[in-house]
Amino acid sequence: MSRFTDFLGYYEKAHQRTANRYVHHLSHLLATAGILLLWRPLVGIPLIALSFPLSWAGHYFLERNIPAFLEAPAVQKSGATFTKVHVALGGLAWSGACFLRLFGRGPLVRE
């Protein structure tokens, strides 16, 4: 669990501005809807595809940093792909952890 909470801590630090957090939560909601609607590819795939540039725009225009998704090394293709998937799924988990924090639960709650 500590690796997961370390990742969540890293993700929290990379998303300091409230506006960027909301942009990311919206983006993660779109991606989740797209994943759930993959049985209708003409709806699901565009939702997933739209979620990435929306998140990246939050980084470029609001945070003024580079998204971790784009920092994965392109030299090792299989390793880079794994890292990109890990970051994308980690973002969904972070949004879920932020939601749980509203109710005083989850890994982001400070005891």
- Closest to 65 in 3D by CA, of 18, 16, 28, 98: 16
Per-residue pLDDT band for 26 (boundaries 50, 70, 90) equals very high
Q: Is the pLDDT of residue 63 over 60?
A: yes
Q: Is the pLDDT of residue 49 over 90?
A: yes
Q: Quick check: pTM over 0.85?
A: no
Domain presence at residue 110: no
Residue 18 CA, chain-centre distance (Å), reads 15
Domain presence at residue 107: no
Domain count for the chain, please give it.
Answer: 1
Q: Quote the pLDDT of residue 1.
A: 46
Residues 6 or more apart in contact with residue 50 via CB below 8 angstroms: 30, 34
What range defines the domain where residue 25 resides? 2-101
Q: Quote the pLDDT of residue 67.
A: 83
Q: Mean pLDDT over residues 8-37, rounded?
A: 90
Q: Quote the pLDDT of residue 56.
A: 92
- Cβ proximity of 93 and 106 under 8 Å: no
- Over its C-alpha atoms, the chain yields an Rg (Å, rounded) of 14
Domain presence at residue 51: yes
Domain presence at residue 75: yes
